[in-house]
Protein backbone atom coordinates (compact mmCIF):
# COMPACT_ATOMS: atom_id res chain seq x y z
CA UNK A 1 0.00 0.00 0.00
CA UNK A 2 1.34 3.43 -0.98
CA UNK A 3 1.84 6.21 1.54
CA UNK A 4 -0.49 9.19 1.71
CA UNK A 5 1.98 11.39 -0.20
CA UNK A 6 2.58 8.64 -2.78
CA UNK A 7 -1.16 8.42 -3.32
CA UNK A 8 -1.42 12.18 -3.84
CA UNK A 9 1.49 12.14 -6.29
CA UNK A 10 -0.01 9.16 -8.12
CA UNK A 11 -3.39 10.89 -8.34
CA UNK A 12 -1.77 14.08 -9.62
CA UNK A 13 0.11 12.03 -12.22
CA UNK A 14 -3.25 10.57 -13.29
CA UNK A 15 -1.98 7.10 -12.42
CA UNK A 16 -4.89 4.68 -12.77
CA UNK A 17 -3.34 2.39 -10.17
CA UNK A 18 -3.39 5.14 -7.56
CA UNK A 19 -7.10 5.73 -8.18
CA UNK A 20 -7.83 1.99 -8.05
CA UNK A 21 -5.95 1.75 -4.74
CA UNK A 22 -7.87 4.54 -3.01
CA UNK A 23 -11.12 3.30 -4.52
CA UNK A 24 -10.60 -0.08 -2.85
CA UNK A 25 -9.23 1.22 0.47
CA UNK A 26 -12.26 1.98 2.64
CA UNK A 27 -10.01 3.56 5.24
CA UNK A 28 -8.82 6.22 2.75
CA UNK A 29 -11.93 8.43 2.93
CA UNK A 30 -10.36 10.56 5.66
CA UNK A 31 -7.21 10.85 3.56
CA UNK A 32 -9.32 12.00 0.61
CA UNK A 33 -10.92 14.65 2.81
CA UNK A 34 -7.43 15.71 3.86
CA UNK A 35 -6.45 16.20 0.21
CA UNK A 36 -9.53 18.38 -0.34
CA UNK A 37 -8.70 20.45 2.76
CA UNK A 38 -5.03 20.86 1.76
CA UNK A 39 -6.03 21.80 -1.77
CA UNK A 40 -8.48 24.37 -0.42
CA UNK A 41 -5.85 25.87 1.86
CA UNK A 42 -3.46 26.07 -1.10
CA UNK A 43 -6.21 27.82 -3.06
CA UNK A 44 -6.70 30.27 -0.20
CA UNK A 45 -3.00 31.03 0.03
CA UNK A 46 -2.77 31.37 -3.72
CA UNK A 47 -5.67 33.82 -3.63
CA UNK A 48 -4.57 35.91 -0.65
CA UNK A 49 -5.42 39.01 -2.62
CA UNK A 50 -9.08 38.21 -1.84
CA UNK A 51 -8.54 38.51 1.92
CA UNK A 52 -8.47 36.06 4.85
CA UNK A 53 -12.23 35.45 4.88
CA UNK A 54 -11.85 33.84 1.48
CA UNK A 55 -9.73 31.09 3.03
CA UNK A 56 -12.45 29.94 5.44
CA UNK A 57 -15.23 30.32 2.88
CA UNK A 58 -13.15 28.45 0.33
CA UNK A 59 -12.47 25.62 2.75
CA UNK A 60 -16.13 25.16 3.66
CA UNK A 61 -17.34 25.45 0.07
CA UNK A 62 -14.66 23.01 -1.14
CA UNK A 63 -15.74 20.36 1.37
CA UNK A 64 -19.42 20.83 0.56
CA UNK A 65 -18.65 20.90 -3.17
CA UNK A 66 -16.60 17.70 -2.90
CA UNK A 67 -19.44 15.79 -1.21
CA UNK A 68 -22.11 17.20 -3.51
CA UNK A 69 -20.08 16.51 -6.68
CA UNK A 70 -19.22 12.99 -5.52
CA UNK A 71 -22.90 12.34 -4.76
CA UNK A 72 -23.97 13.70 -8.14
CA UNK A 73 -21.29 11.65 -9.88
CA UNK A 74 -22.57 8.57 -8.08
CA UNK A 75 -26.21 9.20 -9.03
CA UNK A 76 -25.47 10.25 -12.62
CA UNK A 77 -22.86 7.53 -13.15
CA UNK A 78 -24.73 4.60 -11.65
CA UNK A 79 -28.37 5.50 -12.38
CA UNK A 80 -28.43 7.71 -15.49
CA UNK A 81 -25.30 6.77 -17.47
CA UNK A 82 -24.11 3.37 -16.28
CA UNK A 83 -22.13 0.95 -18.39
CA UNK A 84 -22.85 -2.77 -18.04
CA UNK A 85 -19.78 -3.17 -15.75
CA UNK A 86 -20.61 -0.15 -13.57
CA UNK A 87 -20.62 -1.00 -9.90
CA UNK A 88 -19.78 1.64 -7.33
CA UNK A 89 -20.80 3.27 -4.09
CA UNK A 90 -20.62 6.71 -2.54
CA UNK A 91 -17.45 5.90 -0.59
CA UNK A 92 -15.56 4.98 -3.75
CA UNK A 93 -16.56 8.26 -5.39
CA UNK A 94 -15.61 10.26 -2.28
CA UNK A 95 -12.18 8.66 -2.15
CA UNK A 96 -11.29 8.92 -5.82
CA UNK A 97 -12.68 12.43 -6.33
CA UNK A 98 -11.03 13.62 -3.12
CA UNK A 99 -7.65 12.47 -4.38
CA UNK A 100 -8.42 14.14 -7.72
CA UNK A 101 -7.88 17.40 -5.81
CA UNK A 102 -4.18 16.54 -5.45
CA UNK A 103 -2.99 18.85 -8.25
CA UNK A 104 -4.74 21.64 -6.36
CA UNK A 105 -1.94 21.71 -3.80
CA UNK A 106 0.07 23.56 -6.41
CA UNK A 107 -2.49 26.38 -6.39
CA UNK A 108 -0.34 27.90 -3.66
CA UNK A 109 1.77 29.13 -6.60
CA UNK A 110 -1.01 31.62 -7.30
CA UNK A 111 0.82 34.12 -5.07
CA UNK A 112 3.61 34.48 -7.65
CA UNK A 113 3.24 37.86 -9.37
CA UNK A 114 2.34 37.88 -13.05
CA UNK A 115 2.30 34.08 -13.54
CA UNK A 116 0.08 33.26 -10.53
CA UNK A 117 -3.27 33.58 -12.25
CA UNK A 118 -2.31 31.53 -15.32
CA UNK A 119 -0.88 28.87 -13.01
CA UNK A 120 -4.13 28.78 -11.03
CA UNK A 121 -6.05 28.27 -14.28
CA UNK A 122 -3.72 25.42 -15.31
CA UNK A 123 -4.20 23.76 -11.92
CA UNK A 124 -7.98 23.99 -12.36
CA UNK A 125 -7.75 22.25 -15.74
CA UNK A 126 -5.44 19.59 -14.27
CA UNK A 127 -7.88 18.98 -11.43
CA UNK A 128 -10.78 18.62 -13.87
CA UNK A 129 -8.83 16.05 -15.88
CA UNK A 130 -8.02 14.23 -12.62
CA UNK A 131 -11.72 14.29 -11.75
CA UNK A 132 -12.56 12.59 -15.05
CA UNK A 133 -9.96 9.89 -14.32
CA UNK A 134 -11.30 9.48 -10.77
CA UNK A 135 -14.90 9.13 -11.95
CA UNK A 136 -13.92 6.74 -14.73
CA UNK A 137 -12.06 4.48 -12.31
CA UNK A 138 -14.65 4.60 -9.52
CA UNK A 139 -17.50 3.79 -11.91
CA UNK A 140 -15.52 1.08 -13.72
CA UNK A 141 -16.13 2.79 -17.06
CA UNK A 142 -14.41 1.71 -20.24
CA UNK A 143 -15.42 5.00 -21.87
CA UNK A 144 -13.62 8.20 -20.94
CA UNK A 145 -16.32 10.11 -22.83
CA UNK A 146 -18.97 8.82 -20.46
CA UNK A 147 -16.85 9.92 -17.48
CA UNK A 148 -16.50 13.37 -19.07
CA UNK A 149 -20.29 13.53 -19.45
CA UNK A 150 -20.80 12.57 -15.79
CA UNK A 151 -18.32 15.24 -14.70
CA UNK A 152 -19.80 17.95 -16.92
CA UNK A 153 -23.35 17.28 -15.75
CA UNK A 154 -22.24 17.09 -12.12
CA UNK A 155 -20.20 20.27 -12.44
CA UNK A 156 -23.12 22.15 -14.02
CA UNK A 157 -25.47 21.06 -11.24
CA UNK A 158 -22.89 22.02 -8.58
CA UNK A 159 -22.45 25.46 -10.11
CA UNK A 160 -26.22 25.93 -10.20
CA UNK A 161 -26.61 24.83 -6.56
CA UNK A 162 -23.84 27.15 -5.39
CA UNK A 163 -25.31 30.00 -7.45
CA UNK A 164 -28.74 29.49 -5.86
CA UNK A 165 -27.29 29.37 -2.34
CA UNK A 166 -25.13 32.38 -3.15
CA UNK A 167 -28.29 34.34 -3.91
CA UNK A 168 -29.99 33.47 -0.59
Please tell me the predicted confidence (pLDDT) of residue 96. 97
pLDDT band at 59 (very low <50, low <70, confident <90, very high): confident
Grade residue 109 by pLDDT with cuts at 50, 70 and 90.
confident
Q: CB of 130 within 8 A of CB of 136?
A: no
CB 35 within 8 A of CB 98: yes
* Domain extent listing, the chain: 4-167
Taking every pair of C-alpha atoms in the chain, what is the biggest distance, in angstroms? 49
Higher pLDDT, 56 or 87: 87
pLDDT band at 1 (very low <50, low <70, confident <90, very high): confident
Element housing 24 (H / E): helix 16-24
Q: Phi and psi dihedrals of 89, rounded to 5?
A: -145, 170
Amino acid sequence: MASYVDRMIGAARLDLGAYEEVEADRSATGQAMGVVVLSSIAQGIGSLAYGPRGLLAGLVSALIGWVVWAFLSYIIGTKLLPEPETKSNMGELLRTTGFASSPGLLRVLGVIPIVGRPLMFLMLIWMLVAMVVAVRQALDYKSTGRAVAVCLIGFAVCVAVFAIFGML
